[in-house]
Amino acid sequence: MVETRFSKFLQKLGFSGAGHQYEPLERGELETLFDEECELKAIEKEKMVVALPPKEASKHHREDLAEAFCVDLEKGLSEFSVTQRRLAHGWNEFVADNSEPGWKKYLDQFKNPLILLLLASALVSTLTKKYEDAVSIAMAVLIVVTVAFIQEYRSEKSLEELTKLVPPECNCIREGKLQHLLARDLVPGDIVSLSIGDRIPADIRLTEVTDLLVDESSFTGEAEPCSKTDTPLTGEGDLTSLRNIVFMGTLVQCGKGQGVVIGTGEKSQFGEVFKMMRAEETPKTPLQKSMDSLGKQLTLFSFCIIGVIILTGWLQGKHLLSMFTIGVSLAVAAIPEGLPIVVMVTLVLGVLRMAKKQVIVKKLPIVETLGCCNVICSDKTGTLTANEMTVTQLVTSDGLHAEVSGVGYNGQGTVCLLPSKEVIKEFSNVSVGKLVEAGCVANNAIIRKNTVMGQPTEGALIALAMKMDLSDIKDSYVRKKEIPFSSEQKWMAVKCSPKTEHEDMYFMKGAFEEVIRYCTMYNHGGIPLPLTPQQRAFCQQEEKKMGLLGLRVLALASGPELGQLTFLGLVGIIDPPRAGVKEAVQILSESGVSVKMITGDALETALAIGRNIGLCNGKLSAMSGEEMDSMEQDKLADHVGKVSVFFRTSPKHKLKIIKALQESGAIVAMTGDGVNDAVALKSADIGIAMGQTGTDVSKEAANMILVDDDFSAIMNAVEEGKGIFHNIKNFVRFQLSTSISALSLIALSTMCNLPNPLNAMQILWINIIMDGPPAQSLGVEPVDKDTLRQPPRNVKDTILSRALILRILLSASVIISGTLFIFWKEIPEDKASTPRTTTMTFTCFVFFDLFNALTCRSQTKLIFEIGFLRNHMFLYSVLGSILGQLAVIYIPPLQKVFQTENLSALDLLLLTGLASSVFILSELLKLCEKFCSRAKKAQIHHEEV
C-alpha cells in the first residue's frame, strides 16, 4: 500500500520533453504520504522494543523504563503498539514442540534389542509354519510396546502442563483505560495492575507499590512471602533478591501494585524453565538398561548355538541348509519370549501395591529404579517441611522459656514452660499470656478450615493464640489505627482501646533491633520495670540464640505511646519438618541411601531443618548456589557427594546438582513440589512430586506422586523396588534354566543321532509352563522385609550376574542329567522312539520344571524361611500344571494329541523322587552359602576385636 502511493508520488515528479515539468501534489495526497512515513517509522520503533532480563530491568528508573519500552506509564500502550509487538514477540504462552508424530514415537519402541529379537523369532516361527508360536510372540510384543508408548506419551505431557500456569485473565492499562484481558494478550511494555489474590501474568518490573507481598514459594522455594518495592536496585544479586520484580506464576498475597511487563511467554523466567525442560531428556531406568543388556546377551547366545549346531552337522556330512534351519529353530527356542510380559506384570503389580500405600507411579520401570537409588535430593519447602509457618519457641522479657508443640494453622498442640513442662492456658502465666496477646492483636491474618488468609507469619501467631485459648482476645479490643509493616521500618503496630475502657494502647511486633528502640520498660510477671542495658543485652543474646537455630524471630511490645512501650518478649517461628520425615531419613541412611536437602532458604534455616531431620547424623556440610556457579562441572561432580545441604539455589542449580551426582555414578531421586523443581524432577533418574501441595507442573514432570505428601512413603517405594528386581531375577533364573535344559536336550539328541526325546506338542506344553502361570507367579512373590536393609543395587550389575549364571547352569545340568537318564533308561535297544519313552521323558522334564520353580522363589532364603503358602498364585499355578500334566497322560483325547500313554503310580513316584533332586541340591547350596557367610562375618568380627 505504501509502495503504490510512493510510486504515484514519483509519477507526479515525472519528466516531460527536454525540460523538467513538475506536477504539484494534492494536499490530501501529501498528508497521506506523511502519515504513511510516520507509520513506517512507528513500526520500526515498535520492532526495536525487546524484552529486558530481570536483573537489567531492576536497575532502571521509571523514566528509563518508559523510554526503553516506548510506553506512557499512565496511559499504557496503544492498540497499534500491541499489534506490532505481538507480531514480534508472539502470544504470552508456552507452546510445546510436538513436531514428532505419534506413529513415529510408537515405532521407536521397536528399537529395543529384546523386542527385535522376539520379532525375529516370530518371523522364523512363521517361516517354519509354527503359526501358534508366531501369533503368541507377536501379541506379547504388541502388549509390551503399546504399554511403553502410553507411559511415554503421558510423561511428555509435562511440557503442556506449563500452559496451565499462565493465568487466564489480568488487569491491564491500555489507551488510558483499565481493561480486563486474557493473560495471553500481554506484550512487553504493557502496564499491569496487581491486587491481592492475583496470579502474576508475566515478568513485571514494578513502578508503583503499596504494601505488596508476593508468595514466590513455587519459584524460589522460600516459604516466607517476599516484600516488594518500586525503587531501582543498584547491587548485584540472584533472581530471588530482585525486590522490584515480580515473576510469572507467583501469587499476590497482600497489598497492590502496578508495573511494566518486561518478559512474556518463553522470554519470562518460567519460560527459561520451560526451555530447560524441553531440552532435558528423561534418562533410561536401570531396569531398561538391564533388559537391553540381557537382550544383547541372549542374541549372542542364540548365534553361538546356531554356529555350533551348523558346524557339527556340516562336519557329520549333513545338508547345510537343513542344519541352518535346525540351528535357527533351536536358537528361537532359547529366547524367553515371556520375559517382557513377566517384567511388565511384575511392575504393574508393584504399581498397584504402591497405589494402596498412597503412591502413584506414572512409569512402570520407575518402581524398580528406586531399588538401586543411592541418593535422594529433596526440596525443603513443602516436601521435608509442611510449608506452614509455626511458632516453636517463646522467650518472655523476664527470662521464661517455653516450647510450643503442634504443626500448622490450627489449635492442635500445647505451650509448655521449660524445664517444668507445665502446660499454659490463657493467662495462667501472665508473662507468656501478655506476649501471646500482643501477637494476636497486632495481626491481620484469619485462620479458616486450617488455612491462613493473610501472611503466614501472622497465621503462626494466631495458631499460637489458639493453642492457649486466646484466639478471641482480639475481639475484646477496638482497633483505631494501623501502622503497616514496611521493609524500611521492619515493624507494624496497631492502636486499640479495650471495649471495657477508653484508654488507648499500642501493640507492636517486628524485628528485635527496631522494636526495642521504642521500649523504655520490660514486663516482669505483669509489672513494668525500667529496661536496663543489662536487660537489653540479655534479650539481644536470646534473639541471637534463636536466630542461630534457624528461627525467624519476632519481638513484641505494648504500651500507651509508641515511644513508651513495654517489651514483652520474643517468639521463634519456623516452617517445621513434616511428621515421619526424621524416621524416614534415618532408615534410608541405614540402608545406604544418602539424603540431600536443596533449598532456596538462607544457610541458618537450612542447617536448622537439616539437624532437625537428622541429615548425616547432624554432621552437615553446606554449599550455596553462588559457590556452585564458580565451580567447574568436573570439580562439582567430585565435591557434590560430600555435601548434604544446598542453600540459596535456583532451578538451574538444582539441575546442576542432579547432573553432577549422575556424573559421579549415582542413581538420583529428586523430590519437590514447586515449579522451580520441575526441571530437576524430569532430569533425575526418578522424580517424586507431592500430591496435595505440589503444582500441576511438578506432578506432570515427576514419575511418581506421593498422594498424602508423606516423605516416609519413599521407604515403601524403595522396598518395593528392591523386591521387584529380586522377583525378576528369580523368573529369569527359572526361565533360562528351563530354556537351556530343553535346548540342550534336543541339541544333544540331534548331535548324537538319537531320536527326538520330545515331540512338537510336548515342547509346546513345556513352553507354556516355562512362560505361563508358574513362571509368571514368580514375579508376584511378596517383597521380603529384609530387602530394605540391603544396600542399593549397583546400576552396573546386570540381571545375569555371575552368581545367577552359576545357579542357572547348576539347575540346567541337573535337569538335563535326570531327563537324559530317564530317556536312556526307557529307550528300546533298536533306539526307536516309543510313546512310553517320550511320555516318561516328557513328564520327567515337566516335574523337574515345577521343582525348579519352587527353589527359584528365592535366591538366598530356604523354602522354610519364605514359607510354602506365602505366594498363593504360585501354589495355584503349580497345582494347575500338575493337573494339566496328569490330564495329558491319562485322558484319551489328549493322549492322541500329545502322543502319550498311561504311567503307573510307581513311574510317577520314581519321576517325582528324581525331579526333586534339583530342588534338594539348590536348597543345600543355599544352606552352604549361609554357613560360609556367617563364618566370614564371624572371622571379620574376630579380626576387628
What residues act catalytically? 379
Answer yes or no: are the C-beta atoms of 454 and 254 closer than 8 Å: yes
**3 state SS of 809:** helix
φ, ψ of residue 47 to 5 degrees: the values are -65, -25
Q: Strand 191-194 vs strand 169-174: parallel, antiparallel, or unpaired? A: antiparallel
Q: How far, in whole angstroms, is CA 6 from its chain's centroid?
A: 62
**3 state SS of 732:** helix
3-class SS shares of the chain: helix, strand, coil, % to 5: 55, 15, 30
Q: How far, in whole angstroms, is CA 308 from its chain's centroid?
A: 49
φ, ψ of residue 836 to 5 degrees: the values are -65, -45
- Cell numbers at 669, concatenated: 531421586
Query: How many Å apart are CA 770 and CA 779, to the nearest integer?
Result: 13
H/E stretch holding 119: helix 113-127
Give the other-Cβ count within 10 Å of 920's Cβ.
12
Q: Which of 458, 515, 472 is nearest to 490 (CA)?
A: 515
Exposure b/e, 886-918, CB count within 10 A at least 16 = b:
eebbeeeebbeebbbeebeeebeebbeebbbeb
H/E stretch holding 935: helix 905-944
| HEC letters along 507-524 | EEEECHHHHHHHEEEEEE
Exposure b/e, 780-793, CB count within 10 A at least 16 = b:
bbebbeebbeeebb
Query: How many Å apart are CA 902 and CA 234, to the nearest integer?
Result: 97
Sign of CA dihedral 537, 539, 544, 548: positive
Mind giving me the DSSP string for 189-205? T-EEEE-TTPBP-SEEE
Interior angle at CA 365, CA 360 and CA 369, nearest 5: 90
Q: Which of 122, 117, 142, 143 is nearest to 133 (CA)?
A: 122
Answer yes or no: are the C-beta atoms of 562 and 519 closer than 8 Å: no
| HEC letters along 748-762 | HHHHCCCCCCCCHHH
φ, ψ of residue 673 to 5 degrees: the values are -135, -15
φ, ψ of residue 369 to 5 degrees: the values are -60, -35
The DSSP secondary-structure symbol of 382 reads I
Answer yes or no: are the C-beta atoms of 221 and 383 closer than 8 Å: no
Sign of CA dihedral 756, 759, 764, 768: negative
- Alpha-helical (H) ranges within 772-801 are 773-777
φ, ψ of residue 725 to 5 degrees: the values are -65, -40
The DSSP secondary-structure symbol of 931 reads H
Q: How far, in whole angstroms, is CA 106 from its chain's centroid?
A: 25
Query: How many Å apart are CA 310 and CA 210, to the nearest integer?
Result: 87
Query: How many Å apart are CA 637 and CA 658, to the nearest integer?
Result: 10
Contacts of 918 (CB under 8 A, 6+ apart): 811, 814, 815, 818, 848, 851, 852, 855
